[in-house]
Chains A and B, each alone.
Chain A
Amino acid sequence: GAVVSQHPSWVICKSGTSVKIECRSLDFQATTMFWYRQFPKQSLMLMATSNEGSKATYEQGVEKDKFLINHASLTLSTLTVTSAHPEDSSFYICSARDNKGIYSNQPQHFGDGTRLSIL
C-alpha cells in the first residue's frame, strides 16, 4: 500500500520551455502533497506544501511564479516549471500523505522522482 507514482521519471528539454511533472497517490487519498528538490549528495529541500483545493505554500526563496503547483484532487498534484533554464536542472521529488487532515502525523510516501535536464 501507499504507492505514489511520479511522471515523467526523466525529461530533457530546451531552455525556455515549460515542463509539467505529475504526482499521483495510487491507493490512498492525499489531503497534502509536498514537492522537493534534491541536489547530488544532499538531502531533500522542501519547495512547497500543497493542500487539496487551496493554494500551495512555498518555502522561502522558492519563486511561486516559476514553480506552479496545482492540487485539484485528492490523488493528483502537478508541478510546472515555467520557462525553464539550465539552473533549474535538478532531481524533483513529490510526496503524499494519507488523508487524515492537513496536520496528519502519518508518514509521507514518496514518488521515484523526476530528473530534469535543461539544455
Chain B
Amino acid sequence: EDQVTQSPEALRLQEGESSSLNCSYTVSGLRGLFWYRQDPGKGPEFLFTLYSAGEEKEKERLKATLTKKESFLHITAPKPEDSATYLCAVSIQGAQKLVFGQGTRLTINP
C-alpha cells in the first residue's frame, strides 16, 4: 500500500533555530514529491516539486531534498511567519491523485 509518513507531528522552534522536517514514503512508483504549506483556515500553498533522487530546490529560507526513500524540508534561520503546517504529498505512476502525509505543525516562537 502506498504510504507517506511525516515527522515530527509538531515542532516548536525559536526564531533563528534551524531544523528539518521529514517525509518518508513507500510507494509503488514515484513520479513526483510535492511540498505544501498550509496556514489555518486556508488551502495548501504549493512550495516545491521534486522528481528524482538527489534533486534539491530552494526558496528563501526553505530547501527541499529528495532521496529514494524520503524527503527533507530544511528550514534555515526561521522567522515567526514561517509558522504553518507543512504537507508532503507524492504522485505515483498510473494514478491521478496525490497521497498526502499527515503534516508537520511548525511553530516559530519570536
Whether A and B are associated in the same complex: the answer reads yes
Binding site for B on A (CB under 8 A): 2, 4, 6, 32, 34, 41-44, 46, 49, 51, 91, 93, 95, 102-103, 105, 107-113, 115
A-B CB pair tally, cutoff 8 Å = 54
B41 A110 Cβ-Cβ under 8 A: no
Q: Which of B56-75 contact A (CB under 8 A)?
A: none
Binding site for A on B (CB under 8 A): 31-32, 34, 36, 41-46, 49, 51, 87, 91, 94-98, 100-103, 105
Residues on A with beta carbons closer than 8 Å to the beta carbon of B42: 112-113
Residues on B with beta carbons closer than 8 Å to the beta carbon of A95: 43-44
Residues on B with beta carbons closer than 8 Å to the beta carbon of A112: 42-43
Given contacts A107-B46, A113-B43, A44 and B96 within 8 Å (CB-CB): no
18 A-B pairs besides A44-B87, A110-B43 with CB distance below 8 A are A34-B97, A41-B105, A43-B87, A43-B101, A43-B102, A43-B103, A46-B98, A93-B43, A93-B44, A95-B43, A107-B49, A108-B34, A108-B98, A110-B46, A112-B42, A112-B43, A113-B41, A113-B42
The chain A residue sitting closest to B47, CB to CB, is A107
Interface of A (DSSP majority class): strand
The chain B residue sitting closest to A9, CB to CB, is B41
Q: How far, in Å, is A19 (CB) from chain B's closest CB?
A: 18
Residues on A with beta carbons closer than 8 Å to the beta carbon of B46: 2, 107-110
